[in-house]
Every structure is written in C-alpha cells, then in structure tokens.
Chains A and B, each alone.
Chain A
C-alpha cells in the first residue's frame, strides 16, 4: 500500500493507482475529458492537472501513479486557472454552436466550461475545420467539434481491436479519423458506436433518424409498429433523471403509445424465437460434430442440412457455433475473420427476425401488405441502424425494419413530444408480438443469450429443467471479459443419446478485443468450445453504443442487475414456454424450427469483407 495525502487528507492506495483514482477515494472528483475507465491513460486533454508538492510543473493526474508520501492538491488557484486556460483553448478551436448541437445539455465540454465558470474566451484564432462525414449508415462525424481527446481512438483500438480511428497528421492539422482523413466508409468500421458513447462532445454521434419516425407516424395509411430491445427498459430512465438500473418497462410502453405508435411490441418476442431457432441449430451442429445418432430434433421437424444453411455441406456447419445477435460482432467477423463465417449461427438477430415476422405473420393477421407496415426499432445500438440496411434483410419482400432509433433518440423524442415521463402509468405491451419470457430479457446482458439458449437446449435434450439455482448459469454472468462454463449433460432422452455424458464447453466474450482473444485461443487449438456468445459492446447490449451517456462499469452493473430482476419477475422464464411464440409455430412457421419458412424469414447469410 502507498500512503499519500490529497488536499491534506491521508489516503492509502494500492501500487499503480493513479492520482485521479486516489482522489476519488477521498471524495474529490478531478475533471477530465480524455480519461476512459479501464483504458491506458493518454493524458491528451490536460484538464486533470493537479499540484504535487515538490514538482515544478502541474501534473496530469490521470497518468501519474501515486507514490509514497506524495502531497497532492487538486483545488488550488494555480490548478483552477490552468484548467480554465486549457478549456478556454479547447473552446477557442471547437467549431460548434451549443444551441444547435446534438449534444446540447449532454456535452462534457459544455458542462466543464460551466463548472469552471468560463464566461469569455480570451483566445481568438482559427477554428478547427468543419467537415461532416455521413458516409456510414449509423455514425456521423463532425470534425469541427472534435477536441482530439482520443477517447474514440482508445476505445476503437484497445477495447474493440478495430482501429478504424487514429490521429492523422500533426499539430493543428491533426484529424482524428480513418486513414488519410478519408470518410469512415473507407475503412473497416463495425459501426458499434462505442466511439459515439465515449465522445465527450458532438464529434461522433449516431445518425439522427427521429424525423423519419415522425414522418412515418404522420402518414395516415401507415400502420407503424415499434419494437424495443431488451436493454432499453433498464436504461431509458436515465434520460429522465432516474438512476442507472431503474426498470421503466411500463412507462416506456406508455410513452411509445403516446407518441402515436399503432402497436407497441417487444424485440423480446423474437429473442425467444431466436432461442428456439438457435438452440435447435446448436443441437444440429452438435449432432453433426459429435457423431450423429439418427434422431431428429426432439418433436420438431428436422429439415435436411441443405435447407438450413447457405452452405450445403455439413462440414460447413462447424463447431464452435458463434451467436449472431450483435451486428457489430457480425461485421467484425466478416472483416477480420472471414474464415470463421461458417461458425456463425445463421439465425438473424432478434431485431431482424421481428421485422420479418411483423411484415408477414402480423401483417397477414391484419389483412395488410408488408409495405403498409412500418417497423421502427428502439435499440441500445448504433450498428442496428446499419444492420437493417443490409441488402439481404428484405425477407418480407420489402425492408424488414424501416427505422432504428437509439435509446438516446427515443429519450429525445419523448422529451420533444412534451410527455411527462415521470407521470406516466405502467402499461403492457400489445399482443401477440409483445409477449416474452425472462430468457428474452437477459439477451441484454453479456452471457444472457448463452444462458437463454442453455435453458431451452438442456430441456429439449433431457426433458428436465436446467438444474441450476434461479436458472442462472453463474460463471458466464458479470463483467469479466472472457467467461467460460462447462455443463455435463446426463440423463438425455433416447433420441439425444449421442449427448449422454458429454460436457458442453461454452465461452462468453463481450467487447471485440475479448472476442479476438477467444478467437485466437480457438485458432491456436488452445481452447475448444461448442458454443461461444459474443456481444460487440462491453457488458453486452446494456452497454451498447446507443445507450444514455455516460456508461461505465458501475452503470453497466446496475443495468445488468435490473435486467436479471426483470427476468426473475416473469411468469415464463424459458423461451420455449412463450405461448405466443408457440402459436407462431403452430399457425405460421408450421414446418418447425429450422424449417423451410424459418429458413426464408429467420435465417441469413454473411459476406466476407476486405478489411484494408
């Protein structure tokens, strides 16, 4: 342990703790614009400077480890003036007007200027050149607003192992962006939006599509339905001042109705559907991989492998199977490991399954054509905006999902409509696409898809409920980067006898850097798994690039716990218990999971992409 004083208060910290973190322990918040929890400090913004006795210059507290006997002062005149100068200099280059900025009232630079009491900018000079990059479906870059803090660079390179953004050029000419300052669509960007989630200003934001939704709602002939991803309910409240981890499912439904949506549905419904399809696909792959018995898939019809995947040979359905819900992860694999595309589950994401089902099954119930239905998604994710524009996502004969809004955009829409969120009653989702099990809720959390799939697959194979406390697979929950679990399968039904005594090895990774680690261990032969869940964003969807700012591990943990509460409060805890999903199979997907119609509507294929 190291003893030091911060503003004359003694504090003990472990070796390697920075002054910034040590200060937190004694209740002092040091402002910073470039620090990101868990990542290497770059010391780019210089806002976090402090005085250290004996040191000639002010010191950046984010990158300086505390040392024995250090005497730190965080709030002296010299410190305050230095911080004010730094922020004034940033403001003198910052090319943006607060009133018209997307980040107005949600901007760290603006907040810091207010906190430091800056009333005028003493430095006049050239502004950063403005250039707007709208080249990608999900993200918009406004170079004039960039303060070169490099948070996006760290997140993109360290957390996500993508490296789409890097400082280009030097000095005042520095641009944070893709190679040679070209547009974002010229490099391998997976559209995960973690850059937009950490950007302190309005330099990287999601493509604002609120107006598209208003337009759809204004058109009298449209039947506009909305689906909300599982992660929204645990985070939307933050847009209205509720603490992270507050469940606002009922109020969210009420707000969506008041915005004028004709039906309020749940992506959870198709999360349950995904589990039915994906757990059957897993069992199919296990059967191919572990020496097949001759039975089909339980009571469901088992189609030949030819109809199931775009690649007709069984050897193209290898193990481990990777989950396919996270469009950032899909793009990552397509760009960086196209050789592993056959390992991706062919199941579409719940968002896209929803679009396909809403514009076929639901449309036919209403006697409408697919084009008369508008599907709006509320997603914690920016990559979903990109996913719905993939050319193959038109199984209904038209775009399956029309517009995707992030959680933040929905919050803005509710504000704009003048809805008093706090005063809203709790309302229920509409039937039939609004009904879901707890297994669908946990899709929001890292480890959730895996747990939901295990709950169903175990029961299909053994006829018994998963024998774990609370139906939770504890080793794969929580915020460790890579998690593993082994599950011994015993007492199987006769048709699954090839699985008797088999230990199912699974892994869960969140954040693409962690996914990369799992992939390396698989490729080197060090690890062998049957099933791997990957979510592009740290924490899973609850930490998505479209969630309310600012998301750190404490916030992630609070949202994760809220989602487990939602799951545990559900009448149905397993996807195959969802009566509305079972009805869908009985009425519409009549050839069962992995059947012909499922294949057409609910499964997809992937495209190898050139990363350079």
Chain B
C-alpha cells in the first residue's frame, strides 16, 4: 500500500478501541518490516492511527523494525510533530508567529486555554480537542490565525472561538473540505 494511503484520514480510528488500532498497526508493520529507512514513515502512520504514539505501539515498532527502543524514542523526541501524549479528535493550533502575535494571537491563545480548560500540549478531558502553538502558518495577512486540523481560520477574535469550536464538536466542520470555515 502506498504511504499516502496510510496517512490519509482514518475516519473511524477515533471510534476504534486501542486493541483494534493495534491490529491496524500490525498490518502497517507487516508492509514495512523489510523497508530500509522505514522508522519515520511508520511513526507518522502510527500517529495518524492512534492520534499519538502510545508506548505499546512504540515497543512493537522497535521490535518489528529491529531497532532498539531507545533509538525509536530518540527519533520520537527529536521531531516536534511526534507526540506521546494522547491527542484529541481535533488539533487546535494557535499561531504565535510575529504577525499573529502583534494582532492578538496571545489573547486568542488565552481564550482557547480558558474555553478548553487545558494548557498548551494538553488534551481536553472529553478527548475532543488538543491545544498547540504554531510558529507562523504562512498566512500573516490574515492574522491572527488558528488552524483546527487542516482548516485555517482567519482574523479570529476571542469572542468567536466558542462558535468555531462548537462546529467541530458536532462534526459539521470536518465533513466538508472547506477552509472557508472562517467568517
């Protein structure tokens, strides 16, 4: 199976149990065991499946790729894309690049924290949202910007946040491909 197939959205992964996801990981590993340089792609796929990199999955990856667990952990720790903290269904990234920062990104971040009741790097207790900080998404003209999953929301004001987030809660925003979710 091509790499992109694995990385594409895994629509029912969020509903599947960890055991079921582990079976999917086994299928991935079966394809990649003999492939040189497979560690990073396998980690990316694993994170797409689980939403994060659980310890049991990392140990399984180390065993099937013939790498030491310490080496696998070292690669996970090196790249900021990888996380070992369980991720929510949706990832909220608030841009704190220069343009967004001066146009109120900090206030948007503070409002996001309040609203979700989590700190940066954490996941809400209902596993719906994770919160992260971004350093420029290349949309400075639209500042301040937040990204939720693959959608860009422009000129966000703190007061708009509850409405934006609610759309993801009831799934309506993820079904169309629109990055026009902004107002």
Task: Name the interface residues of A582-612: CB closer than 8 Å to any CB of B.
Answer: 611-612
Q: A180-B73, A612-B59 are in contact. Are A169 and B68 (CB under 8 A)?
A: no
Does B77 sit within 8 A of A, measured CB to CB?
A: yes
Pick the contact of A180 from B62, B68, B71, B77 — CB < 8 Å? B77
B77 with A163: CB separation less than 8 A: no
A168 with B73: CB separation less than 8 A: yes
Does B81 sit within 8 A of A, measured CB to CB?
A: no
Among B69, B74, B78: residue with most chain A CB under 10 A: B74
Does B84 sit within 8 A of A, measured CB to CB?
A: yes
Contact-size category for B: 10 to 19
Pick the contact of A167 from B68, B74, B84 — CB < 8 Å? B74
Does B85 sit within 8 A of A, measured CB to CB?
A: no
Does B72 sit within 8 A of A, measured CB to CB?
A: yes
**Shortest beta-carbon distance from A67 to chain B in Å:** 29
Pick the contact of A163 from B59, B68, B78, B84 — CB < 8 Å? B68
Report the separation of the CA atoms of residues A167 and B58 in the bound assembly, to the nearest whole angstrom. Answer: 16
Residues of A within 8 A of B74 (CB): 166-168, 179
Residues of B within 8 A of A178 (CB): 69-70, 73
Contact-size category for A: 10 to 19
**Shortest beta-carbon distance from B82 to chain A in Å:** 11
**Shortest beta-carbon distance from B99 to chain A in Å:** 25
Pick the contact of B84 from A177, A180, A188 — CB < 8 Å? A180
Report the separation of the CA atoms of residues A162 and B78 in the bound assembly, to the nearest whole angstrom. Answer: 21
Residues of B within 8 A of A70 (CB): none
B63 with A612: CB separation less than 8 A: yes
A294-306 CB mask vs B (1 if < 8 Å, else 0) is: 0000000000000
Residues of A within 8 A of B69 (CB): 163, 178-179, 187-188, 611-612
Residue of A nearest to B63 (CB): A612
Main secondary structure of the interface of A (DSSP, over half): loop
Report the separation of the CA atoms of residues A168 and B74 in the bound assembly, to the nearest whole angstrom. Answer: 4
Does B167 sit within 8 A of A, measured CB to CB?
A: no
Among B67, B70, B77: residue with most chain A CB under 10 A: B70
Residues of B within 8 A of A164 (CB): 68, 70
A166 with B68: CB separation less than 8 A: yes
Does A454 sit within 8 A of B, measured CB to CB?
A: no
Pick the contact of A170 from B58, B78, B84 — CB < 8 Å? B78
Residues of A within 8 A of B77 (CB): 168-170, 180
A478-517 CB mask vs B (1 if < 8 Å, else 0) is: 0000000000000000000000000000000000000000
The 22 sampled A-B contact pairs (Cβ below 8 Å) are A157-B68, A162-B68, A163-B67, A163-B68, A163-B69, A163-B70, A165-B70, A166-B70, A166-B74, A168-B70, A170-B77, A178-B73, A179-B58, A179-B74, A180-B84, A187-B69, A187-B70, A188-B68, A188-B69, A612-B62, A612-B63, A612-B69
Given contacts A178-B70, A179-B58, 13 further A-B contacts (CB under 8 A): A163-B68, A163-B70, A165-B70, A167-B78, A168-B70, A169-B77, A177-B70, A178-B69, A180-B73, A187-B68, A187-B70, A611-B69, A612-B59
